[in-house]
Each structure stands twice: as structure tokens, then as C-alpha cells.
Amino acid sequence: MIELHDISKVYRTADVETTALNHVNLEIASGEFIAIMGPSGCGKSTMLNILGMLDTPSAGSYRFLGTDISSSSERQLASVRKQNIGFIFQSFNLIDELSVAENVALPLLYHKIPLAERKERVQQVLERINIAHRADHRPQQLSGGQQQRVAVARAVVTAPKLILADEPTGNLDTSNGEEVLDLLGQLNSDGTTIIMVTHDQSHADHATRVVNMLDGRVLSENVIGMQQSGAARHV
């Protein structure tokens, strides 16, 4: 699904040049559940932004579903993103003035899905995420865990091939965090590719592979379930 070859990202100001990603090579197959880990400032968020086509690399090539998108225009990237990728953020990013159902339906508006189909798809995904009983509530009437469930529902309502999750449990207590991780695991079992940034090893253990980053580089990759056999690959 994803091939990053020699990807670098450099941010420049008048006085400072900062290398956020430094010659990164990474391949991700369809159906994987990848956790990206590393200390603050190691390049995790920059990596996720580039994977999600919210930012572009300074150098290197990015192939998505077999197509090199490195030189694509913002309009082309937006089209690929809209058709294939769902996002889950630490801060939920729900709109307080809209109901749960209306928040979840938003991505379908951009896809120009007819009203009747939008309602049916929203209902289906709310039931799947076990939050249908809150469909008419506003986000501020929900617990943090419920709000993140709504964010997950919004991310999957378009049936994306890939979900990018940026610290999705960061604002949740342990119990609610585990519920969200279980939801991501269920989505992955259904065939959705998941890439999750996390700083918590116990959360990373829900993934099938862990990518460890340091100083803008991929330091190592560990396949979950095989680590006890020493299946860590250093890059």
C-alpha cells in the first residue's frame, strides 16, 4: 500500500534549518496495523502528516497504492486523501454545534453522498462503534471516551482503506483508551490498514508491527508476537 523511499523533510526559517525526517525508508502492506513510536521531536507527527498527504516531503518518493504521489498537486493529493484515508486525532476535533450524527456525516457531504444514503451509513457506523444511542447528543454532552468513539465513527464512515491515528488515546483514561484500541483492532481485523502514533508501549502492543523512530530516522522495526524470538530489524 505504502512505499517511502529516502524521504526527508526539512523546515527552514530565516535563521534555522530543522530536519524533521532524515532519509526514511518504509514499506507498509495493506491490512497491517502499524504503531510508530519514539521520543518527542523524533519525527513521528511529521511522518504521519506526510503519510496522510497533509504535508509534502522535501526529498524522496512516496508511492501510495502503486502510484508515486511525490510531485502531485495539492488538489490531486486532496482527492486521493478524500477517497482513501480517515483521520483520528488526540483532540477529537468534533464540532460542538453539531450532533453526533451530524459530526459523523460530515465526510459524506464532501463525497456528495445523497441524504438517504448518508443517514443509513451514519446509523450503521454508529451501531458498529456502539454509540448509536447518543446520535442526537452534542459532543459536550459526552464523556471523553464517547467523543473519541464518535471521532472513530467519523473516520470510518467513508470506508477508507487507511486510518491514521495520532495519539488517539492521549486524552483518555486507561479504560476508555483500551476501548478505543480495541475498536482499532476490530477495524484492522475487518481489513482496514491502521497507522497509529503512540508513546505508550502497551498501546503499541495492539499493533502487528512497531516502527521506532529517533532523530528523524527509522531506528528499528519490531513484529509483535515475535519479539521474544528476537525479531527486531534495525535499519
In the prediction, which pLDDT does 226 show?
A: 44
pTM above 0.85, yes or no: yes
Read off the pLDDT of residues 25-57 as tens digits, 9 standing for 90 and up: 999 999 999 999 999 999 999 999 999 999 999
The alpha-helical segments, DSSP class H, found in the chain are: 44-51, 74-84, 100-110, 115-128, 144-156, 174-189, 201-204
What amino acid is encoded at 181 in this protein? L
Residues of the chain with pLDDT under 50: 226-231
Residue 90, pLDDT score: 85
Amino acid 233: pLDDT: 52
- Quote the pLDDT of residue 110: 85
Q: Are 204 and 37 in contact (CB under 8 A)?
A: yes
In this predicted structure, what is the pLDDT of residue 229?
Answer: 37
Q: What is the percentage of the chain residues whose pLDDT exceeds 70?
A: 95
Dig out the grid coordinates for 62 from the structure: 512516496
CA distances from 32 to 35, 87, 152, 179, 189 (A): 10, 16, 18, 20, 9
Residue 231 is predicted with a pLDDT of: 46
Quick one: pLDDT at residue 235? 55
CA distance 216 to 235: 12
Closest to 10 in 3D by CA, of 59, 73, 70: 59
Distance CA 16, CA 87 (A): 31
Phi, psi of 123 (to 5 degrees): -60, -45
Q: Residue type at 67?
A: T
